[in-house]
Amino acid sequence: MRVALLAGFGIAMTTGAKADDKGIIDEVKAGVMAHDITLGGKHVESGVDINGEVLFISPQFLNIIGAPRPHLGGWVNSDGNTDAAYFGLTWDLPLLRRIVGTQDGLTILGSLGGAVHDGYTDTMHTGRKRLGSPVLFRESVELAYQLTPVYSISVMVDHISNANLASHNAGITNAGARIGFKF
């Protein structure tokens, strides 16, 4: 799973992926997250996660629900613990514009979707979590500062779990920082 996540993110970073003159990729983000923090749960797994995400231009049919951007992403854990790939929709809500200059701004982003992982479901080893299912729900919240029309920096928290739909539901919450590049 690690190789697939890294290869997919690398391809997304280097491809033009043009469907028309605008392209289909809107933004690419990369960052580092603390893995399995105690926010809303118990810290069990160790390590740092390298995170990458591709956000696509919102298709017109999603305008009815606020024009969220579809996304694909994932993280790879530095200690060999749970890695994940995820998908879903991201909504952006601008909070402030022109804070320091004419092109900067503060935005809050929220996402909902799903994730697949390579962690344990029902059995586990010491230092690992029982996540209950190979496919989980994923949600995140992010506060981003748009430095220029192209570059942003942000802090985020994301969480995966099965919402108590399986016998085990340990869940994993990560928090960290990312940089963004808009096309």
CATH 3.40.50.300 corresponds to the domain 2-182: no
Alpha-carbon distance of 46 to 68, in angstroms, equals 32
pLDDT above 90: residue 12: no
Q: Please compute the mean of the pLDDT values over residues 26-35 and round it to a whole number.
A: 98
Among 57-61, 103-107, 136-140, where is mean pLDDT lowest? 103-107
Collapsing DSSP to helix, strand or coil, 137 comes out as strand
pLDDT above 80: residue 30: yes
Alpha-carbon distance of 27 to 180, in angstroms, equals 7
Q: Please compute the mean of the pLDDT values over residues 61-78 and round it to a whole number.
A: 98
Torsion angles phi and psi, residue 60, rounded to 5: -60, -30
Helices (H) and strands (E) in the chain, counts: 1, 8
Other residues' Cβ atoms within 10 Å of the Cβ of residue 68: 21
The string of pLDDT tens digits covering residues 123-179 is 877 889 999 999 999 999 999 999 999 999 999 999 999 988 888 888 999 999 999
Closest to 87 measured CA to CA, from 19, 5, 152 = 5
pLDDT above 60: residue 6: no
Give the pLDDT confidence score for residue 127 in this predicted structure: 86
Closest to 158 measured CA to CA, from 49, 2, 5 = 49
pLDDT above 70: residue 11: no
- The answer to whether 128 touches 140, Cβ cutoff 8 Å, is no
